[in-house]
Structure 1
Amino acid sequence: MYPERVVSGMRPTGSMHLGHYHGALKNWVRMQSSQPCLFFVADWHALTTHYDDPAIIEKSVWEMLIDWLAAGIDPSQATLFIQSKVPEHAELHLLLSMATPLGWLERVPTYKDQIDNLTSKDLATYGFLGYPLLQAADVLIYRASQVPVGEDQVPHIEMMREIARRFNHLYGKEKGFEEKAMEAVKKLGSKRAKLYLELRTEYQQEGKDAALDQARAMLDDAQNISMIDRERLFGYLEGSRKLILVEPQAKLTAASRLPGLDGRKMSKSYGNSIALREDKASVTRKVRTMPTDPARVRRTDPGTPEKCPVWQLHQVYSDPATKEWVVKGCTSAGIGCLDCKQPVIDAIVREQEPMHERAQQYLDDPTLVRAIVADGCDTARKLAQETMRDVREAMGLAYS
């Protein structure tokens, strides 16, 4: 019914590190060339935990956008925008909140986790409780078909699907819908109309998902029906309602977990990260001073790669021949720890070189970033306004 579309966003946290690149940005770069993608800076989400210190958000927004462009996000392929510049996100969030059960928000796993872990902040706020609903509005407003996430975010996507389903159930009832749907069936032509009704019966009476998929494919190929008739026919397949909001699917991404300099997850808060655009001298110093296998007190002591944080970086950055060299040299004390670290240093610097080059033009002329974002906000807002027109009409708010 609606075009395939990918939506994803990140909270502005300032300069990004290589963990962000391997965990998310590489996947974004890969996806942008194969399907329409919208990537947004979730600055309102940053306020859920930084409401008492918003001054850091603006600087972080622009730093993060330059990092995205440095990583290879291409504004000619993907739409880049800032959440707060598309106020329809807030309007949909408000309208969805009217019918979203409180218990749905309280059961989101990350809600209790962050309450327990971020004890230094007072998170007993409506904004923090409602952030998964704002997250749902961010996606549903673009009728996204896919949201790239890690496994820990799947419950959020499932809640988005439930919210869309509930909205369609409550507000998708169109006056005279069945009569209008049957008129649309006739426009398919006698052969397709007969097949459509047979497949609808198979799905609704026998629960055959294959029948639903076949009918959807047929509607996608139908050229002689309007968008509103197509929408009615999609809704009629599953019941007797219009589908106003699309249920997004979680697109599980093959996220490489890049360890930090101490072997833990890479994080600025742990002080174990390498920035996406860190200079060569700093990268060299950080890797050369990384802790290694504690058993290797002297150069002549053999070690165990699996007990060394540097080995974890070799898993990401080194080819099989280099890893074989590391294992052989470490376990026999044939190489020292500085020898072992050098291929990692070289690989990180090599990975970062094109990032520095891509970023430089935006550092030299910051208006380029602002122009990209202005265009992206215009594109995103047009899509958001189309959805909100349908949402307001469905909720009886389209007053003339």
Structure 2
Amino acid sequence: MKQIILTGDRPTGRLHVGHYVGSLKERVKLQNSGKYDEIYIMIADAQALTDNAEHPEKVRQNIIQVALDYLACGLDPEKSTIFIQSMVPELTELTFYYMNLVTVSRVQRNPTVKSEIQQRNFEASIPVGFFCYPISQTADITAFHATAVPVGEDQLPMLEQCKEIVHKFNAVYGETLTEPEIILPSNQACLRLPGIDGKAKMSKSLGNCIYLSDEPEVIQKKIMSMFTDPNHLRVEDPGQVEGNPVFIYLDAFCRPEHFTQFWPDYANLD
């Protein structure tokens, strides 16, 4: 059986370091592992329209930005197929058929969907396309017979719902669809990188991101303004490490050689 990866991002803006540690870094590692026969990286422009229908030009422009971020991170078109979702119309067709296998109440229980609806203030008027996001994602994964999907922790409920649809479809129509394996980042600190404001998730819509394309001086300014420990009022006071975004970033990005290099200047880290 062929080993196939399908993964991707919505082009709603430039990609940030949360994307990098949560999935991009892992994608490059898997791409170069030699374990997979086919790797598909999707720029999900159709899904991006579900909450940007009034600004299609924004989505169109961001397709190029996301592609550039992919290449900068090390995704290689010689090894991975990078494609645009809307250019494969069969994915929309497959989504329509899967809609008949999922109840409204099941989608409403999806924690990721609930969180995204609340974050976008959609409680009163949820676009149907956005509501059906997990079903669309299942179509993307199963259309390519993906055996593995590298994702961040926040996407786990989406993948669990994908597996449910696969089981339902196969039970009704026979063994047709492939159930994907979920691949999470190996580093626990990378499962969900908090925003620079200390909120649980780094998100473009929350304005708390460090973008991969940010200039060094912009990155430094953002780091220096990060939320740390509200009870740490003076430099000489002991601070709280647990739950402190700066230390979570340290766990996510630091390598052993960094300690040798920087420890003499930051002895108070003890």
TM over 0.5: yes
Q: State the partner residue of 2:114.
A: 112
Equivalent position of 2:183 in the other structure: 251
Q: How does 1:91-130 map to 2 (within 5 A)?
A: 91-119=93-121, 123-130=125-132
Cα shift at 1:44: 1.2
Per the TM alignment, residue 71 of structure 1 is displaced from its structure 2 partner at its CA by: 0.8
Residue correspondence of structure 1 range 299-310 to structure 2 within 5 A:
301-306=235-240, 309-310=245-246
1:261 aligns with 2:193: no
Q: In the superposition, relative to structure 1, how do residues 17 and 148 fare at CA in structure 2: closer, same or farther (>3 Å)?
A: same
Partner of 2:221: 285
5 Å matches for 1:1-400? 2-33=1-32, 34=34, 35=36, 36-119=38-121, 123-172=125-174, 243-254=175-186, 256=190, 257-264=192-199, 265-290=201-226, 295=232, 297=234, 301-306=235-240, 309-318=245-254, 319-321=258-260, 324-325=263-264, 328-329=267-268
In structure 1, distance between residues paired with 2:77 and 2:247: 36
- State the identity %: 35
Give the conservation status (yes or no) of the 8 Å contact 1:13–1:60.
yes
The separation in 2 between residues aligned to 1:77 and 1:290, in whole angstroms, is 37
Shift of 1:15: 1.4
In the alignment, the residues of structure 2 paired with residue 122 and residue 53 of structure 1 have an alpha-carbon distance, to the nearest angstrom, of: 21
Indicate conservation of the 8 Å contact 1:48/1:127, yes or no. yes
CA separation in 1, counterparts of 2:55 and 2:123? 11
- Which structure has greater helix proportion? 1
- Distance apart, 1:278 and its partner CA: 1.6
Cα distance, 1:143–1:276 mapped onto 2, change above 3 Å: same
> Take 2:265 and 2:197, find their aligned partners in 1: how far apart are those partners?
18
Shift of residue 38 of structure 1?
0.6
Distance 1:253 1:87 in 2: 31
User: CA offset at residue 261 of structure 1?
Assistant: 3.4
Deviations 1:325-353 (A, max 9, x none): 4663357xxxxxxxxxxxxxxxxxxxxxx
292 and 143 in structure 1: CA distance in 2 versus 1, 3 angstrom threshold: closer
TM-score w.r.t. the length of structure 1 is: 0.57
Structure-2-length-normalised TM-score:
0.82
**What displacement does 1:293 show?**
5.8
- Unaligned segments of structure 2, at least 5 residues: none
What is the CA deviation profile of residues 342-385 of structure 1, one whole-angstrom value per residue up to 9, with x for unaligned ones? xxxxxxxxxxxxxxxxxxxxxxxxxxxxxxxxxxxxxxxxxxxx
Q: Distance in 2 between matches of 1:322 and 1:123?
A: 53
1:312–1:251 distance in 2 versus 1, CA, 3 Å: closer
Stretch deviating more after TM superposition (8-17 or 153-162): 153-162
**Offset at residue 170 of structure 1 (A):** 1.9
Q: Does the residue aligned with 1:306 lie in a helix, a strand or coil?
A: coil
Give, in whole Å, the separation in 1 of the partners of 2:224 and 2:52.
35
Matched letter for residue 304 of structure 1: P
Larger-gyration structure (1/2): 1
How many residue pairs get matched?
Answer: 257
Amino acid at match of 2:196: L
Provide the rounded CA distance (Å) in 1 between the counterparts of 2:136 and 2:226: 40
Contiguous gaps of at least 5 residues in structure 1 = 173-242, 332-400
